[in-house]
Amino acid sequence: MDGLAGLLDGPRARGAFLLRCQMDPPWSVHLQDESPLTVTAMVRGHAWAVPDDGEPFLIRAGDVVVSLGPDHWTVADERTTPPQAVIHPGQVCTTPDGRPLAEEMHQGVRSWGNSAVGETLMLVGAYSLEGEVSRRLLRALPRFVVLTQDELGSPLVPLLADEIAKDAPGQEAVLDRLLDLLLIAVLRAWFARPEADPPAWYLGQSDPVVGPALRLLQHHPEHPWTVAELAAAGGVSRAAFARRFTDVVGEPPMTFLTGWRLALAADLLREPGATLSAVARQVGYSTPFALSTAFKRAYGISPKEHRNQLLDPARRTGEEVG
């Protein structure tokens, strides 16, 4: 997988929380769900985004916003409207004083708000998990990424708006794929901006020498790669390739490969039924012991401890938004 595909592999496996929000003014929702990544598409109307510790900005019809957690923020019809609802971890919805709102605000299949139609209509997709692979890309993003409809140039928002309220067989899988595609479209457009600062390995994908090697490493981490093989893919000598790769990516090819393998292993370990032996084979380690040693050196905990953290998270109880 390449970097963008890897970004979505973990969250996609678990499914994302999707909702159509229908609001009439005055309205204000404080978001403290702490989702690692949320996509908000404004279908009609407008909203103010008010970070708890940042400058407010206006979200207009056609805009798509990608927000990175876990910091809290408010979305409202006006900057000064006080919050009427709070979204907690696990998508639990209450009033500011703790009264459950899920039933009161329910407006149908994946639809929520204070109106059956809504002067303002937003589509919200919240990813509940962040993997090590996704973190390699997301840490290059600002807290909020905002693109206009013209900048995005994609028909995905109207398609998602049409599909989100359907209750058909396999609909959750359809919505997951649409949300994934929308996120990829936003990130591609954002990283194409002159002011964007994508990771060096992301830019390296287009390098004529480094690009072919990066794709081999990312798509086939299980292979026992050598610098000579990678240099041959780029059509240069070993020495020239090693210099070029380090200059472009910021680290030697074997160092990049080790980091990529361990990031993949960290994500694969969350899969139900995954064994350390199977994961080791998938990411290019000859034995579980070799993977465990490298993993602990990189992350400070064993693969078993990492898996236990993923499978037994602290959870809060309550009613979900919709």
Chain centroid, CA 321 distance in Å: 20
What was the pLDDT predicted at 170?
Answer: 83
Is the pLDDT at 161 greater than 90? The verdict is yes
Contact partners, residue 126, CB within 8 Å, separation at least 6: 16, 17, 18, 33, 35, 37, 38, 39, 91
Phi then psi for residue 169, to 5 deg, are -55, 135
User: pLDDT tens digits for 176-220?
Assistant: 888 888 988 898 888 888 888 888 888 888 899 999 999 999 889
| Whole-number Å distance between alpha carbons of 283 and 261 | 5
Is the pLDDT at 259 greater than 70? The verdict is yes
Query: CA nearest 31: which of 79, 76, 84, 86?
Result: 86
User: How many residues would you count in the chain?
Assistant: 322
Query: Tokens for 85?
Result: 């609802």
Confidence of residue 279 (pLDDT cuts 50, 70, 90): very high
Structure-derived torsion over alpha carbons of residues 77, 83, 85, 91, reported in degrees to the nearest 10: 90
| Whole-number Å distance between alpha carbons of 276 and 266 | 10
| Torsion over CA: 307, 313, 319, 320 (sign) | negative
What percent of the chain stands above pLDDT 90? 62
Is the pLDDT at 223 greater than 80? The verdict is yes
Q: Is residue 280 classed exposed, middle or buried when 0-12, 13-18 and 19+ CB atoms within 10 A define those classes? A: buried
Q: Is residue 85 classed exposed, middle or buried when 0-12, 13-18 and 19+ CB atoms within 10 A define those classes? A: buried
- More confident call, 247 vs 310: 247
Q: Which amino acid belongs to residue 303?
A: P
Phi then psi for residue 46, to 5 deg, are -150, 170
